[in-house]
Amino acid sequence: MTWNREDGVRGAEPVMADGLLEVACDESGSDGENLTAGNTDVFAHASVRLPMGSAAGFVQEIRDRIRSPAEEYKANHLLREKHRAVLEWLLAPAGPIHGHAQVQLTEKTFFVVDRAVALLLGAGSEGSSQAALLFREGRRTFGDERWREFLTAANQLLRVRNDAEPEAPADTFFRAVDTLSRASSGTDVSGVLDRLAAARPLADAYRARLGEGPPLIPVLNPLLPAIVATAAYWSAGGRPVRLVHDRQNMLTPDRIAWIEETARRAGVGLGGLRLVAARQDPRVQLADFLAGIARKIASDELNEHGDPALTASLRPYVGTASVWGDERSWARLGPAPDGTAAGSAVRTAG
């Protein structure tokens, strides 16, 4: 099978009869609330805006090029070295999804620091800058071992599930803060740590609320704010969007209602969120491919063994609402200077 990009995409916006622009979404790298010791260090949420027929043709083209007997294709098929040409074709400027897809990246350890600081010191631009400072200086100021202990303690403080004594997560976290504070005298992060140490009452109140029952929106869940950011991106031109998302347990009716209400309060034109089985919607399949590919490329770059060509190919797809703290890798992954300045930490809405 061969295809023509102009015939497949031009003049064929996926607008439904109700006037909503449909955008298909999927994610890769979900480890629940275990963000510091899970199987992946990057979470990716991808979205694709294509007509159903065009997407079906592109999925079939991928199958024809790879020729695997697998019934269901996943991103790892395209990430195999023997299929490098197919991967490059998919991401290329002349490829099927360029200009019609986007991905929000989340560096999980930075997400933990950002959420802990937001809880204890407040959200907004000041909290974000404090989180970025702590994250940027943390490892080189305190060393890998102490910094890892702090990240693990922050993760445990925020997570809903707790198999230990009710006060144990807060005790462990503030011991870690104290350890870092004693080693931070005269450094740029000493002020942030002092403020964290003084916020113990807020941490205790948070843990007490968790004891009354699980919250509607877990603090450590990167998916829900990523969905809001995705809706904001695609509706920025003024046309409201409906997101079509792969089914998963996290997207309960109550949480979908929270997403829609959060978007409404933020002035985002989200006209609804519909769940489908990925295998039944080729647009979602393409989003699944992009999410898995982006997560792997971004993780490789984060760990200093990225492929320069693939990183450069991914860059046009990366959204400015990504949640990323590592400056070195973001300078390569983040949007080019003609978008939002790369090389600085960013955080998502919500």
* Residue 61: predicted pLDDT: 95
| Model confidence at 306: pLDDT above 80 | yes
Say yes or no: 139 and 171 in one domain: yes
Is 121 a member of any domain?
yes
Q: In terms of DSSP H, where are the helices of 94-238?
A: 108-121, 124-158, 168-182, 190-197, 200-211, 223-234
Same domain, 237 and 256: yes
> How does residue 56 score in pLDDT terms, banded at 50, 70 and 90?
very high
* Structural domain boundaries, residue 117: 109-211
What residues have CB less than 8 Å from 257, skipping those under 6 apart? none
HSE, CB side, 13 Å, CA atoms: give it for residue 18: 7
Residue 37 is classified by DSSP as S
Asked if residue 125 belongs to a domain, the reply is: yes
Structure pTM? 0.91
Sequence-distant (≥ 6) Cβ neighbours of residue 162 within 8 angstroms = 156, 168, 169, 207, 210
Q: What is the mean pLDDT of residues 46-63?
A: 96
Co-location of 234 and 95 in the same domain: yes
Residue 250 falls inside a structural domain? yes
In a domain, 100, yes or no: yes
226 and 99, same domain (yes or no): yes
Share of the chain above pLDDT 90, in %: 74
CA distances from 289 to 52, 72, 92, 108, 175 (A): 16, 11, 14, 20, 42
CATH of the domain at 237: 3.30.420
Regarding whether 53 and 135 lie in a shared domain, the answer is no
pLDDT number for residue 38 = 85
Same-domain status, 133 and 197: yes
* First CA to last CA distance, the chain: 43
Segment 205-249, tens digit of pLDDT: 999 999 888 888 899 999 999 999 999 999 998 889 999 999 999
What is the model's pLDDT at position 172? Answer: 96
Q: Is residue 341 part of a domain?
A: no
Q: Do 130 and 190 have their domain in common? A: yes
- Does residue 346 register a pLDDT over 80? no
Interval 264-283: pLDDT, tens: 999 999 999 999 998 899 99
Work out how many domains the chain is built from and give that number: 2
pLDDT of residue 337 exceeding 70, the answer is no
- pLDDT of the residue at 199: 96
> CA–CA separation, 255 vs 247, rounded Å?
13
